[in-house]
Chains A and B, each alone.
Chain A
């Protein structure tokens, strides 16, 4: 952006106008989103990752004589649950399960989505038709019902839940990748690569995919929040890993019976999920805004 009020050139655009300009607020917003997202995400992810080395009681260590102690009780920052287990420890260890499922699921769904979407966009024809119809069919199915059905059929293990969420999320990545590849394949460098005699698969893998992987990976990051929420929803509905594995959904599900007397059993794990999801979404939004091509008059 050029300086609006330059010396010697009269202008009606004041510094205040500039500060209120859409482009400025967008840039400021992107920076805020990036920082706020990073802080929120780190606030949850770091303690979860370090749960094993933090001086906390075991996630499943019970003390029936110290049930439902409120937050900030002696030795229990988040209080204790209905079996006298340290709630903070359960939330952090539960987060390891939820985050591991989420990260693995988005990695798998990202790989499937990028592979299928780029093939559909680049080759077109019957490949495009098959992939497109398949993802449309899957998008038409009610997601949670489908997940519950698959978990009921194959049993609620971490592997099954990861695969189920991964398979549930690939259409979004595939759709975006397909549209990005449709744009890329018309660019001159693709034609040049063909003229040089590269095979289609080589052009796609070596030249096109590297150019679309960045925006596609941002969508994958946004899907992480959705994957964590899905895992929590499944656990909440009783389709999570078997007890005594702590997962966020199960901690909330177990705690809701005590909502009127022990608010922290539901509120604190819920808050942790909310902070993570908001953080990841802000981070993804901020990154997207930063990588978005500058506007025409930018420069």
Chain B
């Protein structure tokens, strides 16, 4: 049986290559139809804001790549309720259908996966 992996992304979309390279890990695993989960934590939840205008800083649109997740069959998407609330982000304004979880649910979530990586 394939081993599952949870990728925790905790960088904002335009602070460098971290967010993009975390997403690339997820999409690469999706291409092999691996059981993957993606959790948006801390500044990672800023990736979920829509719309964003990265062309003004000459960046490629990461949010467009996020929309590719469903094409790769990755539908285990989660976000931290605390991270969203701390940053004043409304749960109904997000660009992806993420399950919003409390801290204790996140603790349990991590244990459902064989491998975990926090990028």
A and B associate: no
